[in-house]
Structure 1
């Protein structure tokens, strides 16, 4: 229905809105006592205002925070049983959970051609049910696979590498390595060939575990990695490896299941807490990937901290899809296994009913699995948020009015500690069903989450999205919100195993004496902090240090401490540029606020310190850019053509300026010039990390000529 019709009948919609509001008021009056008794919002409000962390050390140049939260029963259980390594943790999990379902894999029944409305044909999966391994099955397979690895002359303490998508066999391989004191070198599948080869050569691995789909990458990579002798691949459900031609001749290629089948008894050499469990190669936002050493004690400490974050129960179902090569997903999944939860694996290609590989009429993984818990990153949630808002904006005025009423109504009652089951059923049932309908809890990490997106996820999906903060160097453990925190744009207090220090950063004008809240660089200390970088002593000395018997890591992030001890990430040292007139601009802050505009899918802000303004590279939302050109400029054309059209660029810049003012950016923080780029920034391009953080240096290098042109 057109906007003209909306205006013409505005009086009608206004009257209907008033009737709905009046009806809701009467309903509230009648049901308030019932909800007050059943939901006990007073307790929730009290808990939301509780003190979450205390300052335990105060100096002129830093303060140190410690959580007020007590260890959970699961945490105490690990301590009482003297569990100090991932191998001991794995054994205990199996003994405790036995025949319960553990890891689930969706059956792929076939692949079929499906013609689209535009005549194009795409390959789509015909999917079946989930098949499950029990905890005993996982332990048995890990034990056998570990023995099989030893037969390939893998000695204890000798690293092996894994480069594979998230799946059950990834976790089995990790457990196998832990059991035999084999350090596991984890590499993101989205890294370029040279970066992958760097990680393999630096760690001198001879055995690599990969997937059938990624085997072709090694036709090139093996020519750059002379030490590799064996390539083990996880089998595909549909295809078989017919021949191994094109691969380096002296490399043995063997199937994952064959390693298990051919294994013989080998004595296990159990690891100690100080032994290396993982060398995790980050796809960091700067430079070549660094190998972060994580000891068994680091990982056990982090698992305990995650289980302390919020109450979880045995009947929870976990949707696993983030890279297990990212310590955030790995640690959370191990913690969920300890609590007896089952984990069903998925991917972005099959997660929801409308995913790109889902055959029309077939359920997506979330609909089939009906998860209650999952991990996510802000970029995925931003996309969900934009998709919901776009669908609402394109709906007829009645539906839009109903959505807006329901959104405002629920948002208000949530702030008062109440749930709104009737509004959830009438207004938000469809949005909640996007991820299966039963999801109630989500751990969010990897980057800052905007308040706008955070609120929408809570309101529309009915999910407690708990934002956390951590780094690979701290085993993903630092700070985390609890389920009673009603605030947005903060990451909660320190986790139970972490100490958080806020230190002065004079160059950026951040001090612990700032009012009303102390501000400064975040420094993390505790048992979960990595001992340092693999074969990089110089970088280790630069970013890690010992003080008062505690090992600390300088994050480079700037935090602000709220009255209750919760932390808000407000800046990053490497993202701050001083402009010609002396103003400091935080590139990351500007990007986080501007990317909430529906016209922008991604943005990289750049500032030259010799200039008085900043500029931006923008990946526009294709559908909305075409709509902008049509409705405001009466222009048509392909997305690529519109990206080069000066009038379209001018209109988008105007929209960005208006949005920047709306989100309270200063005038000097709003980009004065922009360039619309035609390529989507995905990890495969090397311009963003596996968790979709900008690789700022790589982007600036790739678009060097464009940035130079913007400043002319």
Structure 2
């Protein structure tokens, strides 16, 4: 038996077991870094503060003791509604060490859906970030007769009183917990010892793009597996510094925390998306995870700055970008064919020159220490992947779902292949059904949907195979490629099948101005597209066209912008079958976002929602059209 197999088969019983073991192993090691207001400096200035594992342990035990003092029992649900911050992690670990189960609630969730999730999960308590999140609970207390307690991270502003709900601060909960543990010093160890691998650890609700969200039941063994498998595959190491901004209410963020508990590396945590670019040089991470949209924005931003500088600098960037792609593509092809990344001398020399002129600056923007980045939740355009790989910032694509506790396939750090989502993780099986749907089986797979046995039976076979809803293929080396969502595939009125995400990915690869694109055509006689542009990139372009000072909506509705995007649409169409081509498109007056419900918190487009919201725009693209 290999050491990896041994670690997997002897993995810890629960998240709580992993955490207590980590405290004992490296009490003085740095666990977390988090931003706080600077003691000195200009208003709004921030600095990073550190927390050791020992300190984290003290706080987590106090939180767990507080929950026990409130009467929480095994597997009883405690919700968390907050942005990504260190208190989210401490609260979640406190829930685990109290033997309870966490219900993850996105802070962007509206009051109605928040109430639905709390009621459906049967949550008895909830951690809320601030008064704004607490107000969502207060708005629907009549629907939450089982909710007894609400704990505030930030007790500022107008705190609403809630009849029948005990509202207290996190500090007050920790104080109660410390007092409880003084009377019952063995309470945490006794509680954790009783936690079983098959015990419910987390309820994460799917995004709910079509109807109410479903609660995915993930047990302790799911997270224990995620933690150990990240260690044995070398995705994370004990000496890593990981920058974490992903929403912790999302399964990807939760899986990253499991990996950290297992290896003990440092996590710098700050969920503010508008601070990512500022944080990277300050944190200097060695690893980070992200959604493809972030890499697309970084690439588009780099290209836009080079274009604005014009002349020789822009030509150098275009040359360097091509060299990066050629270098990465050639290395991958050689690695696949011969097992060695042999680069021709001429290309190697060009790459060395481009590295000094361009790539070093790109790596510096990521902090200068990044050895790799994981990407998930949606497909990364291959041309973007090749660019970053050639620039020395390899993006390792992975694949997983909420129902599989995040990753089930990941590109190996030493053999990543752009355009694939890697190989199955150790202990996970993947196969392709007759209709092309990917099926998965392994320790990370959920134990079903909460209170929904019929819907569970639709996707989870009795022998453990999970139907993903994704169409894919597996090559001879075991690498998996996702071709489309089964439910996203559509058939034109002419009977031709179209995979929209493939077309969208191609468009993003060539158009540096795009933010989001949605290809439409189900039961229609041709394909159309809704497109939004990246404001940070299109605004400088508009100034050069004599449109300076215009609003975003004015810029994107201009004839000049339409002609610009039409050029890229025609380039994409040139490589497509006739029935796949985009015959008409509309540039929307604003970008899609989470706040309007058009994107999930992991930045995936909610297709049905967007199509409904812009139904008039879509219909206008088909009015008076002849058969294509």
TM-score, scaled relative to structure 2: 0.88
Shift of 1:276: 0.4
Shift of 1:76: 3.4
Per the alignment, do residues 606 and 371 of structure 1 end up closer, same or farther by CA in structure 2, a change over 3 Å counting? same
Structure 2 CA distance for aligned equivalents of residues 627 and 319 of structure 1: 30
Query: Match for residue 684 of structure 1?
Result: 595
Structure 2 CA distance for aligned equivalents of residues 167 and 523 of structure 1: 34
Structure 1 CA distance for aligned equivalents of residues 114 and 508 of structure 2: 30
Deviation readout 1:172-205 (Å, 9 max, x if unpaired):
1111111222011111222222222211110121
Q: Which of residues 426, 434, 437 in structure 2 aligns to 1:496?
A: 426
Query: Match for residue 582 of structure 2?
Result: 671
Query: Runs of 5+ in structure 1 lacking a partner?
Result: 1-69, 114-123, 354-363, 506-519
Shift of 1:88: 1.5
Shift of 1:631: 6.3
Structure having the higher Rg: 1
Structure 2 CA distance for aligned equivalents of residues 651 and 350 of structure 1: 31
Per the alignment, do residues 336 and 563 of structure 1 end up closer, same or farther by CA in structure 2, a change over 3 Å counting? same
Query: Match for residue 323 of structure 1?
Result: 247
Question: Does residue 187 of structure 2 align to residue 275 of structure 1?
Answer: no
Larger relative contact order (Cα-Cα within 8 Å, sequence gap ≥ 6)? 1
The aligned runs of 1:256-267 (5 Å cut-off) are: 256-263=170-177, 264-265=180-181, 266=184, 267=187
Alpha-carbon contact 2:64-2:95 (below 8 Å) kept: yes
Query: For structure 1, which segment, 273-282 or 394-403, has the greater mean C-alpha deviation from structure 2 after superposition?
Result: 394-403
Structure 2 CA distance for aligned equivalents of residues 375 and 565 of structure 1: 23
Query: Match for residue 396 of structure 2?
Result: 466
Alpha-carbon contact 2:242-2:265 (below 8 Å) kept: yes
Shift of 1:349: 4.4
Per the alignment, do residues 585 and 409 of structure 1 end up closer, same or farther by CA in structure 2, a change over 3 Å counting? closer
Structure 1 CA distance for aligned equivalents of residues 398 and 577 of structure 2: 28
Per the alignment, do residues 577 and 349 of structure 1 end up closer, same or farther by CA in structure 2, a change over 3 Å counting? closer
The aligned runs of 1:283-432 (5 Å cut-off) are: 283-310=207-234, 312-349=236-273, 351-352=275-276, 364-414=278-328, 415-416=330-331, 417=341, 423-432=354-363
Shift of 1:634: 7.7
Alpha-carbon contact 1:613-1:672 (below 8 Å) kept: yes
Structure 2 CA distance for aligned equivalents of residues 411 and 302 of structure 1: 32
Query: Runs of 5+ in structure 2 lacking a partner?
Result: 332-340, 624-628
Deviation readout 1:282-336 (Å, 9 max, x if unpaired):
2244332111000111221222222233364322111111011112222122212
Alpha-carbon contact 1:284-1:689 (below 8 Å) kept: no
Deviation readout 1:553-612 (Å, 9 max, x if unpaired):
101111122221101111221111111112111122222222331232112222131x21
Structure 2 CA distance for aligned equivalents of residues 634 and 108 of structure 1: 39
Q: Which of residues 84, 92, 101 in structure 1 aligns to 2:13?
A: 84
Query: For structure 1, which segment, 391-400 or 577-586, has the greater mean C-alpha deviation from structure 2 after superposition?
Result: 391-400
Alpha-carbon contact 2:300-2:537 (below 8 Å) kept: no
The aligned runs of 1:18-417 (5 Å cut-off) are: 76-77=6-7, 79-80=9-10, 83-109=12-38, 125-128=44-47, 130-212=48-130, 214-222=133-141, 224-235=143-154, 241=156, 243-244=158-159, 246-263=160-177, 264-265=180-181, 266=184, 267=187, 268-269=190-191, 270-310=194-234, 312-349=236-273, 351-352=275-276, 364-414=278-328, 415-416=330-331, 417=341
Query: Match for residue 655 of structure 1?
Result: 567
Deviation readout 1:650-678 (Å, 9 max, x if unpaired):
5255224223135x222322322222222
Shift of 1:630: 7.0
Across the aligned residues of Structure 1 and Structure 2, the Cα RMSD in angstroms comes to 2.7
Query: For structure 1, which segment, 400-409 or 284-293, has the greater mean C-alpha deviation from structure 2 after superposition?
Result: 400-409
Alpha-carbon contact 1:377-1:445 (below 8 Å) kept: yes
Alpha-carbon contact 2:324-2:390 (below 8 Å) kept: yes
Deviation readout 1:191-249 (Å, 9 max, x if unpaired):
222222211110121211011264444443546534323211113xxxx52552x4434
Shift of 1:110: 7.8
Query: Match for residue 369 of structure 2?
Result: 438
Structure 2 CA distance for aligned equivalents of residues 643 and 189 of structure 1: 31
Alpha-carbon contact 2:385-2:394 (below 8 Å) kept: no
How many residues align? The count is: 594
